[in-house]
Amino acid sequence: MIIMALNCGSSSVKYQLFDWEHKVVVAKGMVERVIVGDSYIVHEVPGRDNFKLEQDCPDHRAAIDLVIRVVTDREHGVLASVSEISAVGHRVVHGGEKFTCSVQIDDDVLNAVKDVQHLAPLHNPPNIDGIEAARSLMPSIPHVAIFDTAFHQTMPEHSFLYAVPYDWYESHGVRRYGFHGTSHLYVSKRAAMLLGKPASECNLVTMHIGNGVSHCAIKGGVSVDTTMGLTPLEGAVMGTRCGDIDPAIPAFMMQKENLSAKEIDSVLNKKSGILGITGRYTDRRDVIEHAAKGDHRCQLALDIEAYRLKKYIGAYMAAIGKLDAVIFTAGVGEMGAAIREKAIEGLEHIGIHLDRERNAAAMTRKRESLITTDDSPVKVFVIPTDEELVFTEDVVAILNGTYTDHMQFEYSFAKPDFVRK
């Protein structure tokens, strides 16, 4: 059984082919510069040189058609025909309140996704374009939607509602939704295994730190709070997003700089965060390197980010009670030892005892690591995320009729005999 995972962005299409029987990725790649011009695909097959092909893709249909042609190409592909694909899983950033788990896509589901696209105007439209294109090009194959927001639909009202006029929620859906749900799901299930406890008995703080950053408070195995809100702009300091700020700042700067709503939104999403502070960098490796050379603004960016991380650990510990573990994941969370150290040093009073040698050694995306001392009351783990595996298992379970939801379904990676490949 071959499962295709598709992640359609505004100008890109990422894909992966997963062999379910052998539990291996057989191919993956990306079409870049979709719509904008000079499009090309980079196709990766384990054990082969990467294959790159330039091909104009004026829309997502053309990009997905290119993916199909490359994966079935006699020389560079891995499939004899598209009929070998058993199902396609689609990443959908925003499912609103309607979707609490992954679902097979039909016209009603697609229309429901369209109904909430105003909640994620940068993300859902290309997701929808990708679904429509893939269903058109592969009409006989089942298609499944996996929602970034679904994992967080267990949050209680007092956690997800904002203190703004209540009719904003009733009329426009203004509330906290949260994102990176498949990542928080995966690492929380793995943390439960490392702790030797059922997920339903674990209290965790999961910290997904990449260019986008979100944290999640998990009590009894389910999300009870998360840092991203109505959109992915709220919360922690990110690569180019500001995270938490005084809500009056946008109006203040619109007046001072004569900015439109669209312009201020662009500044807060694309020119703030680490980039805004340093003026040059979003990649934390560059920031760490230049901070070590005495660049004050790079050092300041690291200090601000680590301080915010530390604050959220404390806040979420207060929210969930006894804390079992903190988990770092995603690119910076998995590889940024210096940022992890700054975030958790000095937290001995709440039971976190950092082992600096273990932390420094945990610089790989292939191994799960404990970075606190053996006697630390609260453990801290570095767990490489695997959102694609969540995608694949949801799709296979839906095909087999065994899927329930992320709380009840027994994932392979939540079992003691799981081996990461």
Position 200: which residue type? S
49 is known as an active-site residue: no
Q: What residues are paired with 208 via a beta bridge?
A: 214, 329
Segment holding 181, helix H or strand E:
helix 181-195
Cβ-contact 299, 291 below 8 angstroms? yes
Euclidean distance between CA atoms 72 and 66, whole angstroms: 10
Among 90, 97, 77, smallest CA distance to 128 is for 90
**What CA–CA distance (Å, rounded) separates 304 from 204?**
23
Burial class (CB in 10 A: 0-12, 13-18, 19+), 306: buried
| Amino acid letter, 66 | L
Q: Is 231 helix (H, G, I), strand (E, B) or coil?
A: coil
Question: How many whole angstroms separate alpha carbon 55 and alpha carbon 63?
Answer: 9
From the list 65, 129, 148, 225, the catalytic residue is 148
Torsion of CA 319, 321, 327, 332, to 10 degrees: 30
- Residue 315 CA to its chain's centroid (Å): 22
Count CB-CB contacts under 10 A for residue 67. Answer: 25
Q: At what angle do helices 124-137 and 107-115 cross, to 10 degrees?
A: 160
Burial class (CB in 10 A: 0-12, 13-18, 19+), 318: exposed
Two tokens, residue 380? 């801290």
Residues 345 and 224 sit within 8 Å (Cβ to Cβ): no
Phi, psi at residue 3, to the nearest 5°? Answer: -110, 130
- The residues assigned a catalytic role are 148
